[in-house]
Amino acid sequence: MKHKSDWGIIGMGVMGTSLARNMARNGLNVSLFNRHLEGLEEKVAAAKVTRYPELAQAQPFDALQAFVESLATPRKLLLMLPAGDAVAQMLTDLSDFIQEEDIIIDGGNSHFEDTQRRMNSGAVYAKNYLGMGISGGASGALWGPSMMPSGNQQAYGVVAQDLEKIAAKTASGTSCCTYIGAGGAGHFTKMVHNGMEYAEMQLIAEMYVFLRASKLSNAAISTLFDTWSQTASNSYLLSISAAILKVKEGTHDLIDLILDKAGNKGTGAWATQIGAALGVSNSMMAAALYARFNAADKKLRIQLSQLFDTSPKTPEIELDHLLHAYDFCRLINHYQGFRMLESASAEYRWGLELSAIANVWRSGCILKSELMDRLFEKLKTHSILEHPEFQSELIHGFEALKKVLRTGISSNIPLPVCSAAQQFFLQMTQEKGSAHLIQAQRDYFGAHRYQRLDDESGSFYHTDWENQ
Ligand code: 6PG
């Protein structure tokens, strides 16, 4: 009779396999499950055991009941499946074989509302169901991802030690896995991470396009990004961008051979929608998402480029201004992301700790950066826009960004995410805005009423505008 495994991993895709290898390397016994699909997915788990030496002791299955029975109780199951139907179907199938004490963790990119619904469903798995955002891609999953679990805190207590062991560690040795909060807070946090990731990626792409229009070669831009990476601007995404720009295919730079059209798996769109539903501005991730949509509309772009001449002209800008503008935009992106978390925490009563989330994002994930290291400390007391230590960076960065945008506009360089950062900061730092006219317009056509500056009680007034 074989020993019972500590963990069962369901779904032997790249992430599931890498996490299983990570667990095994860290001394945990694992059972592996992958569905059997005639001619398409056959003996997938067994093939992983043969392929990866760390998995030599793992037990592979393609029959669900035998897989579940191979686990020590209470069973600890990690689902690494595509969000949506695949998770729903697996939970239905598992319900026949599991007990209420068993702990199921959804480690995919599920929508946080699905996760919350599953927790409240009354199903056999509901009580101890955990949602866990995982970031870091395949290599993060293998060597230490950033993990964002949420749900029943007692259930988390049972799995905490194992998860914290396999997660990435910060330079000071703390684990980049911590209990995030109740309900779907973990998947929500990962969704915001991805929205911020979209904006960070698009920001670097905007810097790149600006520099290319300035006639810098890919190699020169790579060197510049490497130089920026030696400063407090360092981030994982910047460093991989520098590396990407060095790659050659024959005599060509590979980047020049890649179609300028990017897809998306949906978490950026969710983040954008939910920011709007919460009533917080996440204009940078929204701008990055729309930039992807516009990029994907390549055929139309080709047609329209023949109707309108907006081809880029060579801009002139000091590289220092570009760097300070870039840093400024990143501060605004992080401000917006953390504000979104704060507002969701209030709405859903999750009790999120922003500094603890920054800590989880300091290593293992796509957003890891020097800035995140700073935010771990700074967010304990103030938001980015209110913290005295960010004041002078924001003031100087804003001036640099205005120079970049002025040059960008006159040189026909699209900078949607940079522009979103500038407009957000400008609007948020002016006491008097433009919404008094909006109030009056709404009252004119819809009798929605308005509040007055000269009445501090906040009472609402209506004017018969047409008979004035
Ligand atoms: C991560 C990534 C990961 C994945 C995204 C990409 O944190 O490891 O965010 O989850 O790369 O799914 O999403 P898009 O396909 O939408 O860019």
Query: For the domain 190-349+381-428, what is the CATH superfamily, name and number?
Result: N-(1-d-carboxylethyl)-l-norvaline Dehydrogenase; domain 2 (1.10.1040.10)
- Which residue's CA is the nearest one to ligand 1's atom 6? 265
- Which residue's CA is the nearest one to ligand 1's atom 10? 135
Q: Which two tokens stand for residue 242?
A: 């520098």
Per-residue pLDDT for the chain (468 aa), expressed as one digit of tens each? 578 999 999 999 999 999 999 999 999 999 999 999 999 999 999 999 999 999 999 999 999 999 999 999 999 999 999 999 999 999 999 999 999 999 999 999 999 999 999 999 999 999 999 999 999 999 999 999 999 999 999 999 999 999 999 999 999 999 999 999 999 999 999 999 999 999 999 999 999 999 999 999 999 999 999 999 999 999 999 999 999 999 999 999 999 999 999 988 899 999 999 999 999 999 999 999 999 999 999 999 999 999 999 999 999 999 999 999 999 999 999 999 999 999 999 999 999 999 999 999 999 999 999 999 999 999 999 999 999 999 999 999 999 999 999 999 999 999 999 999 999 999 999 999 999 999 999 999 999 999 999 999 999 999 999 999
- What's residue 263's pLDDT? 87
- Bridge partners (DSSP) of residue 305 are none
Q: How far is the CA of 215 from the centre of ligand 1 (A)?
A: 31
Q: Which two tokens stand for residue 54?
A: 């760390």
- CATH class, 7-184 region: alpha beta
One of 197, 200, 206, 378 is an active-site residue; which one? Answer: 197
pTM: predicted TM-score of the whole model, two decimal places: 0.96
d(CA 245, CA 389): 34
Q: Among the atoms of ligand 1, which is closest to the Cα of residue 367?
A: 7
Query: Are the beta carbons of 160 and 95 closer than 8 angstroms?
Result: no
> From the centroid of its chain, how far is CA 123?
29
Query: What residue spans in the chain does CATH classification 3.40.50.720 cover?
Result: 7-184
Q: How far is the CA of 430 from the centre of ligand 1 (A)?
A: 35
Q: Among the atoms of ligand 1, which is closest to the Cα of residue 137?
A: 8
Query: Which amino acid is present at 285?
Result: M
Q: How far is the CA of 275 from the centre of ligand 1 (A)?
A: 18
Query: Are the beta carbons of 241 and 225 closer than 8 angstroms?
Result: yes
One of 4, 41, 48, 190 is an active-site residue; which one? Answer: 190
Q: Which two tokens stand for residue 140?
A: 């993060």
d(CA 134, CA 9): 14
**Local structure of 123: helix, strand or coil:** coil
- Widest pairwise Cα distance in the chain: 90
Burial 89-122 (b: 16+ CB within 10 A, else e): ebbeebeebbeeebbbbbbbbbbbebbbebbeee
Q: Among the atoms of ligand 1, which is closest to the Cα of residue 109?
A: 10
The question of whether 2 is a catalytic residue gets the answer: no
- Bridge partners (DSSP) of residue 132 are 149
d(CA 148, CA 189): 7
Q: Which two tokens stand for residue 198?
A: 């979209």
Query: Are the beta carbons of 330 and 293 closer than 8 angstroms?
Result: no
- What's residue 424's pLDDT? 98
The question of whether 190 is a catalytic residue gets the answer: yes
Ligand 1 pocket mutation, candidates 267, 289, 361, criterion most atoms within 8 A of CB: 267
- Which residue's CA is the nearest one to ligand 1's atom 4? 137
- What's residue 205's pLDDT? 98
- Which residue's CA is the nearest one to ligand 1's atom 13? 265
* Closest listed residue to residue 414, CA positions, set 126, 203, 140: 203
CB-based pocket (< 6 A), ligand 1? 109, 135-137, 193-194, 197, 264-265, 267-268, 365-366
Query: Are the beta carbons of 324 and 400 closer than 8 angstroms?
Result: yes
Query: What residue spans in the chain does CATH classification 1.10.1040.10 cover?
Result: 190-349+381-428
Ligand 1 pocket mutation, candidates 81, 265, 285, 362, criterion most atoms within 8 A of CB: 265
Q: Among the atoms of ligand 1, which is closest to the Cα of residue 198?
A: 17
Query: Are the beta carbons of 358 and 379 closer than 8 angstroms?
Result: yes
